[in-house]
Amino acid sequence: MRVSTSDITGKKKGSGSNDIFEKCRNFTRPSDLQSAGLYMYFEVFGDREGCGAGEVRMGHRKVLMFGSNDYLDLITHPKVKEAAVQAVKKYGSGCSGSRLLNGTLDVHVKLEAELAAFVHKEAAITFGTGFQANYGALSALTEKGDVMICDHNLHASLVEGALRSSARTVRFRHNDMDHFERSLENCPPEEKIFIVSEGVFSMEGDIADLRGIMKLAKPYGARTYVDEAHGIGVLGATGAGAAEHLGVLDDVDIVMGTFSKSLASVGGFIAGERSVVDYLKHTARPFMFSASLPPASLAAAGQALQIMKKEPERRVHLLRIAQLLRDELRSREFNVLPGETAIVPVVIQDELDLCRLCKRLLEEGIYINPVLRPGATQNLLRISCTAAHTEKHVDRLVTTLVRVAEELGIER
C-alpha cells in the first residue's frame, strides 16, 4: 500500500507551516523596499563604450559610477580586453574540467607563478572566485584541535570558511590589540593557532593593525592569513596590499587576493609556502570540485597585473582622489569613517534615509552602494573611488550629495 505525505500529516504536500519554502514567502524586506520605491539592488548596467572615464551606461543615459571596485580602472583597458580576446582564440571559452584532472592550462601555471612572486611567496593557487579562495583555504587548513583567531569584521567568505571548519573559532574586537592579545593568552598550549584578518576591511575601508598582529603572534608560533582583496592594487610600494604598505608582507604566512577588484577579472588566489599550496591543491574542495578558471579570465588578470606594476601613477592618483573626497565630505560635516584607502564610507544611521538618499542620487545620475546592517556594523553610503575619477567628479558628487541630503531632510 502506498502512503502519501498528506495521509501522514493530514496536510497537502507542499502547503502550510511545514513547507520549507514558507520562510521565502515571509521574506518581505526586498518587496517592502520595492513598494516604497527604494530598492537599490540588481540595477542593470549596459556597455561602457562611449562613456567617459568613471561613467557607465544605464539604459539610455550615463551614470557617474562611485560604486565599482575596479580600483585601477582596468576593466575596459584596451590591453586587458585584447588579452582576454586572444586567450579565447587560442584556448577556447573554457576548460571543461577541474584543475585536478583535465583543467590545468599553461596560463594557470604562469599566472600563479607571477602572483606568488608579486606577494613575495613561494607558490600560489587560483580559485574560481575570491569567496571560494577564502572558504576553501580556511576550511582545508584547519581541523579539530586548532583555533582560528579572527577579527570581528571579517568578510562573509572568511566567516563561512571558519564555520565549515571543525577548528575552534575566536573573534576579537575589530582592530583591538588588547583583546587580540588576551585571545592569544587564553589559547591552551596544545592548540595550533591560525590568525585571520583582512588587510583592508571591505565595508568600512580601514586597514588592519597588521604590525600589532604580527608582533603579538610571533611568540606563540601562530600562522597568519591576510585577505588582501581590497588592498592589492591600492596600497603598498608595488601595490601588493596592506601588508606591504605596513612593512610586514614577508612576515605574513598566507596572502589571499581576488581578481574582481584591481585585477579587472574574476577569480581569486592563495599564496604561501609551496607545501601549503600543494596541500590546498589536494584538499580544498572548491578547488578540487569546480571547473577551472577560463582562459580569458586568467589572461585579463595577468595583463592587469602587468599594467599595475608598470603604472604606479594609477594607484597614486586613486589615493589622492579618495583623500580629497574624504576631506570635502568632512568639511560639509558628513560622518566619514577614518581611512586611507579607496573606500570612503559615510555613516547614514537610518536605513530608510540611506535608501532614499541612494535612490535620489541615482536619479541625479550618480550611483553609490548602500550597505545595510548586518552587511556592515553601521548603515553606510559606501563610496568607492577609482583611478578614473577626477576632481570634477568629486566636486559633482559632493555638491549633489549636500543638496540632496538637505532636500530629503537627512541629518549629517
* Length of the chain measured in residues: 412
Q: Judge if 261 and 386 occupy the same domain.
A: no
Q: What is the pLDDT of residues 149-186, one digit of tens each?
A: 999 999 999 999 999 999 999 999 999 999 999 999 99
Q: Judge if 94 and 218 occupy the same domain.
A: yes
Identify the band that residue 53 occupies on the pLDDT scale cut at 50, 70 and 90: low
Identify the band that residue 13 occupies on the pLDDT scale cut at 50, 70 and 90: low
Considering its fold, how many domains does the chain have in total?
2
Q: Which three cell numbers stand for residue 116?
A: 606568488
- Tell me what pLDDT residue 60 has: 81
- Contact, 267 vs 297, CB < 8 A? yes
- Tell me what pLDDT residue 35 has: 87
Asked if residue 404 is part of any domain, the answer here is yes
Q: Which three cell numbers stand for residue 83?
A: 588579452
Asked if residue 381 is part of any domain, the answer here is yes
Report, as an integer, the average pLDDT of 233-257.
Answer: 98
Q: Judge if 219 and 306 occupy the same domain.
A: yes
CATH number for position 60: 3.90.1150.10
Asked if residue 11 is part of any domain, the answer here is no
Q: What is the pLDDT of residues 259-292, one digit of tens each?
A: 999 999 999 999 999 999 999 999 999 999 999 9
Q: Judge if 86 and 221 occupy the same domain.
A: yes
Q: Which three cell numbers stand for residue 20?
A: 520549507
Last residue of a domain, one of 266, 284, 310: 310
Q: Judge if 107 and 218 occupy the same domain.
A: yes
Report, as an integer, the average pLDDT of 48-60.
Answer: 73
Q: Judge if 220 and 339 occupy the same domain.
A: no
Q: Judge if 44 and 192 occupy the same domain.
A: no
Asked if residue 143 is part of any domain, the answer here is yes
Q: Judge if 269 and 298 occupy the same domain.
A: yes
Q: What is the pLDDT of residues 340-349, one digit of tens each?
A: 999 999 999 9
Last residue of a domain, one of 310, 331, 348: 310
Q: Judge if 251 and 393 occupy the same domain.
A: no
Q: What is the pLDDT of residues 206-236, one digit of tens each?
A: 999 999 999 999 999 999 999 999 999 999 9
Q: Judge if 212 and 249 occupy the same domain.
A: yes
Q: Judge if 152 and 53 occupy the same domain.
A: no
CATH number for position 265: 3.40.640.10
Identify the band that residue 47 occupies on the pLDDT scale cut at 50, 70 and 90: confident
Q: Which three cell numbers stand for residue 394?
A: 568629486
Asked if residue 246 is part of any domain, the answer here is yes
Whether pLDDT at 10 is above 80: no
Report, as an integer, the average pLDDT of 5-17.
Answer: 50
The gap from C-alpha 206 to its chain's centroid, in whole angstroms, comes to 13
- Tell me what pLDDT residue 297 has: 98
Q: What is the pLDDT of residues 55-112, one digit of tens each?
A: 888 888 899 999 999 999 999 999 999 999 999 999 999 998 999 999 999 999 999 9
Q: Which domain holds residue 390?
A: 33-65+312-408
Last residue of a domain, one of 283, 310, 337: 310
